[in-house]
Chains A and B, each alone.
Chain A
Amino acid sequence: GAVVSQHPSRVICKSGTSVKIECRSLDFQATTMFWYRQFPKQSLMLMATSNEGSKATYEQGVEKDKFLINHASLTLSTLTVTSAHPEDSSFYICSASVPDPRDEKLFFGSGTQLSVL
Chain B
Amino acid sequence: GENVEQHPSTLSVQEGDSAVIKCTYSDSASNYFPWYKQELGKGPQLIIDIRSNVGEKKDQRIAVTLNKTAKHFSLHITETQPEDSAVYFCAASTGYSTLTFGKGTMLLVSP
Is B89 close to A, CB under 8 A?
A: yes
Check A43–B89 contact: CB distance below 8 A.
yes
Is A104 close to B, CB under 8 A?
A: yes
Check A97–B97 contact: CB distance below 8 A.
yes
**How extensive is the interface on chain A, given as a class?**
20 to 34
Residues of B within 8 A of A93 (CB): 43-44
Is A108 close to B, CB under 8 A?
A: yes
Chain B residue nearest to A111 (CB atoms) is: B43
Check A44–B101 contact: CB distance below 8 A.
yes
* Chain B stretch 54-104: residues in CB contact (< 8 A) with chain A: 89, 96-97, 99, 101-104
Residues of A within 8 A of B42 (CB): 110-111
Check B34–A105 contact: CB distance below 8 A.
yes
Chain A residue nearest to B93 (CB atoms) is: A106
Residues of B within 8 A of A95 (CB): 43, 97
Is A107 close to B, CB under 8 A?
A: yes
Check B49–A105 contact: CB distance below 8 A.
yes
What would 5 A/B residue contacts be, using CB atoms closer than 8 Å?
A: A42-B104, A43-B89, A95-B97, A97-B96, A109-B43
